[in-house]
Amino acid sequence: MTTQFTFLLIEEFSHLAFSCAVEPLRIANLVSEQELYAWSFASENGETATCSNGSVTLVHSRFDEIERCDHLFALSGINMRKHVTKPLLTALRRAKSRGVAVGALCSGAWILAEGGLLDELQAAIHWEYHDSFMEAFPEVNLVRNVFVADEKHMTASGGTATADLMLHLIERDHGNDLAVSVADQMVYNAVRNATAEQRVSLQSRNGMRNAHLVHAIQRMKETIETPVSPSVIATELGISTRQLERLFGKYLNSSPKKYYTEIRLERARNLLVQTEASVTDIALSCGFESPGHFSRVYKAAYGVTPVLQRSSFR
């Protein structure tokens, strides 16, 4: 049975997120040699939609002419607030009332929130809109995850996070082997799960506001193999350990120790799926005292052991 996707292309939508949404579906059909997925596009005028880089995409229908589908995603980009219209919100609410799985990509979570669809739910949105989103929609449980798939309305934070969500759906529908084959065709080996955070973007956005935080994070990245304690880092920066903890809490909603561990785990995960290095070598190169300790910490973070993580990508 073919699963039908409809993408509501909102003016100034992200072309990167658009490609990362459609291409995994196309490749899944190609690899499986079956029409597992079909897709269509809709826009306000029913003729074209213009993305933020100026490219114009032909569409199949207006927002009020959408045919039955299994998944409907609102896909927006910059200036999404000025493009929230009555036909758009009506289309989303009508689809929800018909039992369609409604979701959002990139800044699209803002539009779903405007329509009251995300109240009391977890949601992901591009890091650039986190502060304003939390201010505008306190009733939504905004998370730093790259995507949220276990709510009734799925959301992805944009860019390649959209590909992560689509690969998750392909795996859910047709198994891990197909999802891995699609990722391989995309030359996309560092596939992230839903709990992965928008770390790099948040770091560049928030960390640059405070020089001490920038230097602390840089120091952590330089000492992954031989970690130093947060108190040592604080001393090197000329601040107290408590002050360092406050900075991490304020800007990253984390502690120095937890963030440090996450950096090391992320490095370890990349090495597991992108290299042939042994688990023992990876453990030591990422600052874990033993393979056993590494395995326990890794499983607690990602839900699988390092060995199983690697085998899932083979």
Residue 124: band (very low, low, confident or very high) from pLDDT cuts 50, 70, 90: very high
Tens digit of each residue's pLDDT (9 = 90 or more) over 131-178: 788 888 999 999 888 999 989 999 999 889 999 999 999 999 999 899
Q: Which residue has the higher pLDDT, 114 or 204?
A: 114
Average pLDDT over residues 4-10: 98
Residues 252, 211, single domain; the answer is yes
Angle between helices 291-302 and 256-274 (to 10 degrees): 100
Residue 56 bridge partners (DSSP): 50
Residues 244, 96, single domain; the answer is no
pLDDT of res. 272:
86
Amino acid letter, residue 189 = N
Domain boundary among 185, 217, 234: 185
Residue 187 bridge partners (DSSP): none
Residues 61, 160, single domain; the answer is yes
C-alpha dist (Å) from residue 78 to 8, 14, 107, 110: 15, 8, 7, 11
- Alpha carbon 267 to its chain centroid, in Å, reads 18
Check pLDDT > 60 for residue 206: no
Q: How far apart are CA 124 and CA 18, in angstroms?
A: 17
Q: Counting beta carbons within 10 angstroms of the beta carbon of residue 268, is it exposed (0 to 12), middle (13 to 18) or buried (19 or more)?
A: buried
Residues 53, 133, single domain; the answer is yes
For the chain, what percent of residues have pLDDT higher than 90?
76
Domain boundary among 159, 185, 211: 185
pLDDT of res. 80:
93
Tens digit of each residue's pLDDT (9 = 90 or more) over 19-72: 999 999 999 999 999 999 999 999 999 999 999 999 999 999 999 999 899 999
Question: Following CA atoms 273, 275, 277, 278 in sequence, which dihedral angle do they give, to the nearest 10 degrees?
Answer: 20
From the list 60, 50, 46, 76, the residue with the least C-alpha distance to 6 is 60
Residues 156, 16, single domain; the answer is yes
Tens digit of each residue's pLDDT (9 = 90 or more) over 220-265: 999 999 999 999 999 999 999 999 999 999 888 899 999 999 999 9
Residues 261, 155, single domain; the answer is no
Residues 153, 244, single domain; the answer is no
Q: Counting beta carbons within 10 angstroms of the beta carbon of residue 261, is it exposed (0 to 12), middle (13 to 18) or buried (19 or more)?
A: buried
The token pair that represents 143 in the structure block: 């998370």
Check pLDDT > 50 for residue 201: no
Residue 110: band (very low, low, confident or very high) from pLDDT cuts 50, 70, 90: very high
The token pair that represents 30 in the structure block: 């190609």
Residues 168, 286, single domain; the answer is no
Check pLDDT > 70 for residue 205: no
Q: Which domain holds residue 158?
A: 3-185
Number of separate helices (H) and strands (E) present in the chain: 14, 11
Residues 139, 205, single domain; the answer is no
Domain boundary among 154, 185, 216: 185
The token pair that represents 289 in the structure block: 């005292």
Residues 207, 165, single domain; the answer is no
Average pLDDT over residues 82-91: 95
The answer to whether the Cα torsion of 199, 202, 208, 212 is positive or negative is: negative
pLDDT of res. 195:
65
Residue 192 is assigned to a structural domain of this protein = no
pLDDT of res. 208:
53
Residue 113 is assigned to a structural domain of this protein = yes
Angle between helices 199-206 and 256-274 (to 10 degrees): 140
Residue 194 is assigned to a structural domain of this protein = no
For the chain, what percent of residues have pLDDT higher than 70?
93
pLDDT of res. 209:
63
